[in-house]
Amino acid sequence: MRFSRSFGRTLREAPADAEMISHQLLIRGNFVRPAGAGIYTFMPFGYRVIRKIWAILAEEMDAIGGQEMWMPNLHPASLWQATGRWDTVDVLMKVKAGGSREYALSATHEEIIVDLALREIESYRDMPRMIYHISKKFRDEPRARGGLMRLREFIMKDAYTLDTSEEALDAYYPSMIQAYYNIFERCGTPARAINADVGAMGGKSSHEFVVPHEQGEDMFIACTNCDYAANVEAAVFVREGEKPDKLNELGKILTPDCKTIADVASFVGVLTSQTLKAVFYWWTPLGEGEENGRFIFGLVRGDLEVNEVKLINALGGGALRPATDDEIKAGGVTPGYASAVGLDVAADLTEPGVFVIADTSIEAGGNFVVGANEAGYHYTGANYPRDFTISQMADIAQADTGRQCAQCGGRIEAQRAIEAGHCFKLGTRYSTAVNATYLDEKGKPQLIFMGSYGIGLDRLMAIIVEKHHDDYGIIWPDSVAPFQVHLMHIGKGDEVRQTADSLYETLQQAGFEVLYDDRKASPGVKFNDADLIGIPWRVTVGGRSLAQGGVEVKRRSQPDRHLVPISELVAMVSN
Partner RNA sequence: CGGGGCGUAGCUCAGUUUGGCAGAGCGCUCGGUUUGGGUCCGAGAGGUCGUCGGUUCGAAUCCGGCCGCCCCGACCA
Residues binding RNA (CB under 7 A): 9-17, 19-20, 34, 36-38, 89-92, 107-108, 137, 139, 141-147, 150, 198-201, 215, 217, 308-309, 320, 422, 454, 472, 490-492, 522-525, 527-532, 540-545, 552, 554, 561
Nearer to RNA, 11 or 226 (CB): 11
Of 337 and 516, which CB lies nearer to RNA in the complex structure?
516
Which residues, including other chains, have CB under 8 Å from residue 162's CB and lie 6 or more apart?
A: 113, 117, 121, 126, 127, 128, 129, 130, 131, 448, 449, 450
Pick 20 or 162: Cβ nearer RNA = 20
For residue 183, what is the DSSP state? H
- Angstrom distance (rounded) from CA 232 to CA 216: 13
Distances in Å between the alpha carbon of 233 and those of 57, 199, 221, 410, 492?
Answer: 28, 10, 9, 20, 62
**CA gap 291, 299 in Å, rounded:** 24
Per-residue buried b or exposed e for 156-170, using 16+ beta carbons within 10 Å of the residue's own CB: bbbbbbbbbbeebbe
Give the residue with the Cβ less far from RNA, 102 or 141.
141
Rounded CA-CA distance 344/371 in Å is: 15
- Give the CA distances from residue 521 to residues 71, 157, 488, 517, in Å, rounded to whole numbers and listed in that order: 46, 40, 10, 9
User: Residue 90 or 326: which CB sits closer to RNA?
Assistant: 90
Alpha carbon 165 to its chain centroid, in Å, reads: 28
Minimal distance, residue 218 CB to RNA, in Å: 7
Q: How far is CA 70 from CA 26, 74, 531, in A?
A: 28, 12, 37
Stated as kind and residue range, the H or E segment containing 263 is helix 261-268
The CA-based angle 201-204-209, given to 5 degrees, is: 70
State which residue, 508 or 528, has the beta carbon closest to RNA.
528
How far apart are CB 152 and RNA at their closest, in Å? Answer: 9
Q: Which is nearer to RNA, 127 or 423 (CB)?
A: 423
Nearer to RNA, 32 or 372 (CB): 32
Least separation in angstroms between residue 24's CB and RNA is 10
- Give me the least distance between CB of 528 and RNA, in Å please: 3
Closest distance between RNA and the C-beta of residue 471, in Å? 10
Q: At what angle do helices 457-467 and 21-28 cross, to 10 degrees?
A: 100
12, with CB counted inside 10 A (0-12, 13-18, 19+), is exposed
DSSP letters spanning 526-560:
HHHHHHHHT-SEEEEEEHHHHHTTSEEEEETTSS-
Q: What is the smallest separation between the CB atom of 285 and RNA, expressed in angstroms?
A: 14
Q: State the nearest-atom distance from the C-beta of 522 to RNA, in Å.
A: 4
CA 200, 205, 206: angle at the middle one, nearest 5? 75
The nearest distance, CB 424 to RNA, in angstroms, is 7
Can you state the angle between helices 44-63 and 457-467, rounded to 10 degrees? 110
- The three-state secondary structure class of 288 is coil
Nearer to RNA among residue 127 and residue 312 (C-beta): 312
Query: Minimum CB separation from RNA for residue 137, in Å?
Result: 6
In the complex, what is the shortest distance from the CB of residue 487 to RNA, in angstroms, rounded to a whole number? 12
Cβ-count burial 513-544 (b if 16+ within 10 Å, e if not): ebbbbbbeeeeeebbbbbbbbbbbbbbbbbee
Distance CA 186, CA 53 (A): 9
In the bound state with RNA, the residue whose beta carbon lies nearer, of 108 and 428, is 108
Residue 144 or 346: the one with the smaller Cβ distance to RNA is 144
Amino acid letter, residue 284: T
Please say which residue, 201 or 370, places its beta carbon nearer to RNA.
201
How far apart CA 326 and CA 156 sit, in angstroms, is: 45
